[in-house]
Structure 1
């Protein structure tokens, strides 16, 4: 299902044309009004979060970022969502953002168990979010956050009224490598690293954080938003994260299988937004996920397909205005459905 419905000109969203000025005059000031803290997640890992709450706003969104992201990256989007009338809560996953890293090499992408992510999200919602906002609570997730959020909704009773998964990591793009071969390579590498090393190895070709020039990036078309994102990571090196480990990949494969085997447990009305030119995650897996989810719950993935933002790259909410505004309009449409 390609995007076609909501007229984005009715939304008051920041644009590339005025973004630098709005950062200086409005976005930075609004960001300073947030509350920033942490809680102890699984295995006593410090999980950091940001929240923007006002008594004037009755609806709430929990924003679940993707891999290697931190809440500091989402300042423009937080500004837009709060201006649309939502209280906002953003979590930094374990092993990235400002949350604790679990390995001595802090650049290695690692998690002991993928379900620890959704355990942390459950604790965040129950102890931080729910006491402040329970009746009109929505979940908005990007990339790896989409897999985490779907697992959370499958594993826990939740107050979440509806969810949007944008560019969700239902499966990683393996570059055409057959699944059985990819799994064999990953399992073998992870086993060998457990035998031979004190910490998990990087996957083949992966390493510590490296800056990628805009012309080589596969995340977004917006040069300005890419510049802001990369400058942020230079100014705050504690946010930097490198490539993934064999262990992380093995856990991601397990999560992919769990998402499908527990598909009937995802009862929350869920919309999938797909970036049409995504090369980071597997869009075919998103299509299959939507088809199966819709067969169980007709209110999720309407017509059994994702909403496609044609030609958009992976980071829909940091894309050029023409794609970003389409994605945000679809999010707001879904959260304002009268039957939800």
Structure 2
């Protein structure tokens, strides 16, 4: 399946793209890039809610410059993967476990057959929450995981019983495919730069908006009640010290001090209880660290390089 290329965001060279089908019938778009000659290892990149493969072209180049192969998917209901509802802009999923089904199909049909080991995961926000669930379940598809601002909780307050119960009632009364209260059909990522909660970099913000302007079918709008209900349920399972302490997967969490989307305090608390994990808070960064200014991205990559070993290229 074709990737969208614009002058400000060209497709990295040597891409192979296509579609795969999950065990429950969802069609997922994937893309993969081979590593430079003489090097080994693959980083699998998993975006957040509302993101698509194209948004990570710069990250793909950064990883290939480090000697890694790269592989990605669009989550079901996002990018150019299949969408379940008649209105394709609605952010919908029946259950967070469906995203784990996406990862399993991706690993079995793309990563294991066509990408060199060892395998590492780099996941952002919602993608980070999915990776934590996979790690907790003991599925060791990846040697190490790097999670950028993982969606463990909401900022300012914990996921409370009241909104969770309200969402569940609304879903049980047949409103699961409706937008959340206050949600609209405006595409995520097209909001003005001033006041946006995800990046302080105007150039990268404009680039990401230009991708959606070139092909609006890549985007999604506000989440549905069903998505919010299952997301709240997933976040509640992360509470307390028992869940992280049961994870045996080596994990590095990168949090943003100025995050308005997910809770940095919750990330720090979760990381404290990991048996094989650590974390770093990047001072000054907003939520999307990899879409941020170079000074914040440099800190991310320094931590990544220290945590994820690649195979050196001997001359």
TM > 0.5 between the two?
yes
Query: Residues 146-225 of structure 1 correspond to what in structure 2 (within 5 A)?
Result: 146-173=128-155, 176=157, 179-192=160-173, 194=174, 200-210=177-187, 211-225=190-204
- Residue 134 of structure 1 deviates from its aligned partner by 5.7
What are the ranges of 5 or more consecutive residues in structure 1 without an aligned counterpart? Answer: 1-22
8 Å CA contact retained: 2:46, 2:121: yes
**Aligned residue-pair number:** 301
Per the alignment, residue 3 of structure 2 pairs with: none
> SS of 1:254's equivalent?
helix
> SS of 2:62's equivalent?
helix
> SS of 1:267's equivalent?
coil
> SS of 1:151's equivalent?
helix
8 Å CA contact retained: 2:69, 2:116: no
Find out whether 1:300 has 2:277 as its counterpart. yes
8 Å CA contact retained: 1:42, 1:116: no
Q: Distance in 1 between matches of 2:141 and 2:226?
A: 32
Per the alignment, residue 327 of structure 1 pairs with: 300
What are the ranges of 5 or more consecutive residues in structure 2 without an aligned counterpart? Answer: 1-5
Find out whether 1:317 has 2:290 as its counterpart. yes
Per the alignment, residue 51 of structure 1 pairs with: 32
8 Å CA contact retained: 2:28, 2:74: yes
8 Å CA contact retained: 2:40, 2:310: no
8 Å CA contact retained: 2:159, 2:235: no
TM-score, length-scaled by structure 1: 0.83
> C-alpha root-mean-square deviation of aligned residues, in Å?
2.2
> SS of 2:281's equivalent?
strand
8 Å CA contact retained: 2:199, 2:286: yes
Q: Distance in 1 between matches of 2:297 and 2:116?
A: 28
8 Å CA contact retained: 2:34, 2:115: no
Query: Residues 4-153 of structure 1 correspond to what in structure 2 (within 5 A)?
Result: 28=10, 31-54=12-35, 55-133=37-115, 135-153=117-135
- Residue 24 of structure 1 deviates from its aligned partner by 5.4
- Residue 246 of structure 1 deviates from its aligned partner by 1.3
Q: Distance in 2 between matches of 1:209 and 1:33?
A: 34
